[in-house]
Amino acid sequence: MGDLSRSEIDYIALACDGVRGLRPYLPGKPSEELERELGISNIVKLASNENPLGPSEHALQAIAQASKELTRYPDGNGFSLKSALHKRFGIDPELITLGNGSNDLLDLITRAYADAGKEVIFSQYAFAVYALSTRAVGATAVVTPAKNWGHDLDAMLAAITDRTRLIFIANPNNPTGTALDEAALRLFLERVPAHIIVVLDEAYSEYSLDDAFPDGLKLMADYSNLVVTRTFSKAWGLGALRVGYAVANAEITDVLNRVRHPFNVNSLALAAATAVLDDHEYLEKGREINALGLVQLAEGFDRLGLDYIPSVGNFICVDSKQDAADLYQRLLHEGVIVRPVGNYGMPQHLRVSVGLPEENQRFLDALEKVL
Ligand SMILES: *Cc1c(COP(=O)(O)O)cnc(C)c1O
């Protein structure tokens, strides 16, 4: 290689084995980008499962206050936020790891426990980041077939080998919105060998209105290999700030903190997340708007004769019965951004985030027009 001239060097070929095969994560299209490209204004973005209410006043005030200290490094231990999580949910602060969004935590867990020769199990139609993180560390992704669009826990159990180190489960799952009940999860956790770490990704668990919806934090008392991740990006309305948390046993938490970057959560995010935990009205309002929106969208799909996957998240997948990538483009021209999920192996589905009632209606009207 020393003989190659600069222009002959292939810097992609030089990347690590796992990294070479990756494709970058496809984010939802930002409204400003669509505005720039098509000159459309009054855009409705229902593409990234964001909270349609806008940020909590508590968060905005906390950010204004924290912004006076921008020259200082953030608190690398996140003392205030961990205390607030303790106060709100009773979580032992010693067992919390904070992340730059929960994506950061999914990545930390993978880096800490998997590498070449190890296997990581997740389901077909599971969140794209599980595959990205797994492949980036050179580990092998073992993808089990879905059942009714959701996780087939028996298939996941059957996929366990001597090389399995991690299992990712999202409850509810994105992009399909399917959920597992507590009995099914417990039966599964009973059977997973305790040296295999099970990550329960609860990015959307706040949206379930069912009191019986499983609470990963409670399950942790019985299963030492369970790690629960949560985020402030969805129901708490702070997607832009990038803050999430993982709860795990003391040893796993120790390990995660060895690979965590020292100041991975910035001080504005820490302040806003701490403040929003006290805003009970905000969370409740978001849950109500979401429940109404899911009904509104489902009724709209029924009227249009379209099937959808019943969802307990803040989004819903509808079967357009045609190439959804094309439909997505036509919706863009109507000023409506949703998410095609062909990259998840669902070429006819669109994933629509639940918006405000008028936003949902704009989407349904546009959909009817372009179908
Ligand atoms: C949105 C989402 C997350 C959270 O991502 P952040 O990095 O916290 O913004 C995690 N898991 C799933 C399944 C998600 O859809």
- DSSP string of 102-141? HHHHHHHHHHHH--TT-EEEEETT--HHHHHHHHHTTPEE
* Mean pLDDT, the chain, integer: 96
| pLDDT value for 24 | 84
The two three-digit tokens of residue 194, written as one number: 């305790």
CA distance 359 to 276: 24
Say whether pLDDT at 2 is over 80. Answer: no
Question: What digits encode the pLDDT tens for the residues 113-164?
Answer: 999 999 999 999 999 999 999 999 999 999 999 999 999 999 999 999 999 9
More confident residue, 27 or 10: 10
Instruction: Give nearest CA residue, ligand 1 atom 12.
Output: 203
- Asked if 240 and 35 touch (Cβ cutoff 8 Å), the reply is no
CA distance 236 to 254: 27
- Asked if 34 and 40 touch (Cβ cutoff 8 Å), the reply is yes
User: How large is the average pLDDT for residues 46-61?
Assistant: 97
CA angle 34, 40, 44 (to 5 degrees): 70
More confident residue, 188 or 17: 188
Ligand 1 atom with the smallest distance to the CA of 100 is: 7
Instruction: Give nearest CA residue, ligand 1 atom 4.
Output: 102
Instruction: Name the least confident of 24-38, 159-173, 216-230, 325-339.
Output: 24-38
Say whether pLDDT at 216 is over 70. Answer: yes
Task: Give the end-to-end CA distance of the chain in Å, rounded to a whole number.
Answer: 54
- Asked if 184 and 152 touch (Cβ cutoff 8 Å), the reply is no
| pLDDT value for 35 | 87
| pLDDT value for 171 | 98
Instruction: Give residue for tokens 């489902």.
Output: 298
Separation of CA 48 and ligand 1 centre (Å) = 10
> 319: which strand partners?
349
Which among 183, 236, 246, 244 is positioned nearest to 214, based on CA atoms?
A: 183
Ligand 1 atom with the smallest distance to the CA of 104 is: 7
Given strand 226-231, what is the order of strands in its sheet?
96-99, 244-247, 226-231, 197-201, 164-170, 119-123, 140-144
| pLDDT value for 1 | 58
Ligand 1 atom with the smallest distance to the CA of 48 is: 1
More confident residue, 113 or 18: 113
Three-class secondary structure of residue 317 per DSSP? strand
User: How large is the average pLDDT for residues 58-76?
Assistant: 97
| pLDDT value for 25 | 81
Instruction: Name the least confident of 20-24, 341-345, 348-352.
Output: 20-24
Separation of CA 3 and ligand 1 centre (Å) = 45
Which residues have any ligand 1 atom within 6 Å of their CB?
A: 49, 101-103, 127, 170, 174, 201, 203, 231, 233-234, 239, 244
Instruction: Give nearest CA residue, ligand 1 atom 2.
Output: 203
Separation of CA 201 and ligand 1 centre (Å) = 8
Ligand 1 atom with the smallest distance to the CA of 244 is: 8
Burial class, 58, CB count within 10 angstroms (exposed 0-12 / middle 13-18 / buried 19+): middle
Q: How many CA atoms lie within 13 A of 97 on its CB side?
A: 30
Instruction: Give nearest CA residue, ligand 1 atom 1.
Output: 203
User: How large is the average pLDDT for residues 279-294?
Assistant: 97
Fold of domain 57-276: Aspartate Aminotransferase; domain 2 (3.40.640)
Instruction: Give residue for tokens 């669509």.
Output: 34
Q: Which helix (H) or strand (E) holds 257?
A: helix 250-259
Say whether pLDDT at 84 is over 80. Answer: yes
Separation of CA 72 and ligand 1 centre (Å) = 28
Question: Could you give the residue range(s) of every CATH 3.40.640.10 domain in the chain?
Answer: 57-276
Instruction: Identify the band that residue 355 occupies on the pLDDT scale cut at 50, 70 and 90.
Output: very high
| pLDDT value for 183 | 98
Question: What digits encode the pLDDT tens for the residues 232-248?
Answer: 999 999 999 999 999 99
Question: Could you give the residue range(s) of every CATH 3.90.1150.10 domain in the chain?
Answer: 27-54+281-370
Superfamily of domain 27-54+281-370: Aspartate Aminotransferase, domain 1 (3.90.1150.10)
Sequence-distant (≥ 6) Cβ neighbours of residue 16 within 8 angstroms? 136, 138
- Asked if 144 and 26 touch (Cβ cutoff 8 Å), the reply is no
User: How large is the average pLDDT for residues 159-177?
Assistant: 98
Question: What digits encode the pLDDT tens for the residues 244-270?
Answer: 999 999 999 999 999 999 999 999 999
Instruction: Give nearest CA residue, ligand 1 atom 3.
Output: 203
Instruction: Name the least confident of 37-51, 55-69, 180-194, 342-356.
Output: 37-51
